[in-house]
Structure 1
Amino acid sequence: MADRLAGPGRLMGKVAVLTGAGNGIGAGCAEHFREQGATVIGVDISGADRDCDLTDEAAVADLFAAIGAEHGRVDILLNAAAFATFAWIEEMTYAQWKRTLVGELDIVFLPTRAAWGLLKASGRASIINFASANAAHALEGSAALAHCAGKGGVLAMTRQLAMEGAPHGIRANTIAPGFILTAATRAHMESEPALREKVLAKNMVKVLGEPQDIAHAATWLASDEARYVTGANIAVDAGATAW
């Protein structure tokens, strides 16, 4: 049993909807889920299987109605889409604050609510959300006020979803990534050359993460191997938050 679960095809037969699948962590997870046998519907504002503004309530409802009509259920919902404004409190406008909370919280709430009936139809569904070290710790020198609030909200929301989903066979967990190399973070490192050394100094394991590192953890949470795991937050951060 253990060998069968750990081998290729760990998500065989599962219908997976991944938001933020157009790039970065979402794209990495979508690729890995496909390799593991899932039927993947990647969603993003553009450049994915289904283009959708995930902050538009009606558009999200239409998206999942179409998915339901085609597949009848959703076994995996991975909410990787997010956007935020980073600014110090004295500089952040109220509009930027509200936009960030939409981009951190609403963008998780709307797809999850729209998918809820399809997740219930699965009977053994997995929701995977993305928290952050910023959900529990402030980072010195980082102007991440609204982002911290948003990720803290995702962490709390996911615990509640775990409770509400349990009677329906729905598990809900978060992954808290460390610094992951994506197009956006590579550009950030180019603009701030000292960033790489700051990240490596904080990491216990002196390497930078890649989307595949998150995809492996997400695959486990999405699979039946993790049937006894819900309400958990999995840090994938080279030990950065362990000391």
Structure 2
Amino acid sequence: MPGRLDGKITIITGVGGAVGRTTALLFAAEGATVVGCDQQDAAAQETVESVRAAGGRMTAAVGVDLGDDEAATAWVDSVADEHGGVDVLFNNPSALRFGPVDELPAEGWLFTMRNELTLVFYTIRAVWPHLRARGGGAIVNVGSIAGTRGSWSMPQSAHAASKGGILGLTYQLAVEGGRFGIRVNTISSSLTRTPATEHLLSKPGSPFDLEKARIPLRRFGEPQDIARAALFLASDDASYITGVNLPVDGGTAAVF
């Protein structure tokens, strides 16, 4: 039985993290050739080894600074040159700073904008001509419910603004890309259980206990929840879907 991404050259950024690794494994299992990148060498290599051990095809570059326009373009161009094109981009990397608006230093704001929004734009801009040359393709951005509503659990003005920016970028590029067959969508996840967030979610008396109680499905998200949504949006099953913000949040959007 053919996979949903058979023959697709797929770029996944941030493959060293839980969501990137889970998505790489799923995309490869569905027939994609996965090309990833991450700033963490060991984590990226572990993902590559996991994908290959499962019978998939994957390579990864390390040390690529996607927040640098020239570096992002050079890397994406090298992927397209090696594989003869690009079909899918899963825009997944994220690094941020939290803090109350009157305490967050300017450096924290700029760091978050660079590492959650600017690098998404640079990577999209780099892959755009290759998708056009291919006759179309799919871009799936990782947003957050923080981009559409405030949070009681933590002060996150920079994160909220960056993820709101991703939504605006998604809507605009869906319009610009339509005539080229380029689809652009965003997954807006709620707080997801990963090794990076486990200490927050498992802490007794955490403010996230109340947040969990308000989620209709009564659990936090898992990396595979995001990966499965990304697979759908990247595949031809979603060939008539573009400009969509897909909440993957256990029903949180229906409550707040």
Query: TM-score, normalised to structure 1's length?
Result: 0.93
CA-based RMSD of the aligned residues comes to: 1.5
Q: 1:146 aligns with which of 144, 147, 158?
A: 158
Q: Distance in 2 between matches of 1:22 and 1:193?
A: 30
State the Cα distance separating 1:57 from its structure 2 match.
1.8
Q: 1:60 aligns with which of 50, 54, 72?
A: 72
Q: Does 1:166 align with 2:160?
A: no
CA 1:185–1:152: 2 relative to 1, 3 Å = same
Q: Distance in 1 between matches of 2:71 and 2:237?
A: 33
Tell me the amino acid that sits aligned with residue 73 of structure 2.
A
Give matches, 1:88-107, under 5 Å: 88-107=100-119
| Partner residue in 1 for 2:190 | 178
Name structure 2 gaps, 5 residues minimum.
45-59
| Partner residue in 2 for 1:30 | 24
| Partner residue in 2 for 1:13 | 7
State the Cα distance separating 1:207 from its structure 2 match.
2.1
| Partner residue in 2 for 1:4 | none
User: What is the DSSP-based 3-state SS (H/G/I as helix, E as strand, rest coil) of the residue aligned with 1:209?
Assistant: coil
44-53 or 169-178, which deviates more: 44-53
State the Cα distance separating 1:74 from its structure 2 match.
1.0
Q: Distance in 1 between matches of 2:92 and 2:71?
A: 18
Q: Does 1:234 align with 2:246?
A: yes
Q: 2:61 aligns with which of 46, 50, 53?
A: 50
User: What is the DSSP-based 3-state SS (H/G/I as helix, E as strand, rest coil) of the residue aligned with 1:131?
Assistant: strand
| Partner residue in 2 for 1:129 | 141
Q: Distance in 1 between matches of 2:208 and 2:104?
A: 26
Q: Distance in 2 between matches of 1:217 and 1:195?
A: 27
| Partner residue in 2 for 1:223 | 235
Which 4+ residue blocks in structure 1 deviate beyond 3 angstroms? 190-193
- Size of the aligned set, in residue pairs, is 237
Q: Distance in 2 between matches of 1:193 and 1:185?
A: 15
| Offset from partner CA, 1:144-169 (integer Å, 9 cap, x none) | 00001100000000111111111111
Name structure 1 gaps, 5 residues minimum.
1-6
State the Cα distance separating 1:192 from its structure 2 match.
6.1
Query: TM-score, normalised to structure 2's length?
Result: 0.88
| Offset from partner CA, 1:164-188 (integer Å, 9 cap, x none) | 1111110000001112111111122
Tell me the amino acid that sits aligned with residue 74 of structure 1.
V
State the Cα distance separating 1:238 from its structure 2 match.
0.6
State the Cα distance separating 1:191 from its structure 2 match.
5.0
State the Cα distance separating 1:189 from its structure 2 match.
2.6
* Identity score, percent: 39
State the Cα distance separating 1:104 from its structure 2 match.
1.3
State the Cα distance separating 1:197 from its structure 2 match.
2.1
Q: Distance in 1 between matches of 2:14 and 2:118?
A: 14
State the Cα distance separating 1:206 from its structure 2 match.
1.3
State the Cα distance separating 1:27 from its structure 2 match.
1.4
| Offset from partner CA, 1:115-162 (integer Å, 9 cap, x none) | 111111222300000121111101124210000110000000011111
Q: Distance in 2 between matches of 1:223 and 1:229?
A: 10
| Offset from partner CA, 1:52-111 (integer Å, 9 cap, x none) | 111122211210121121112111001000111000011111111111111111110111
User: 8 Å contact 2:153–2:208 — kept in the other structure?
Assistant: no
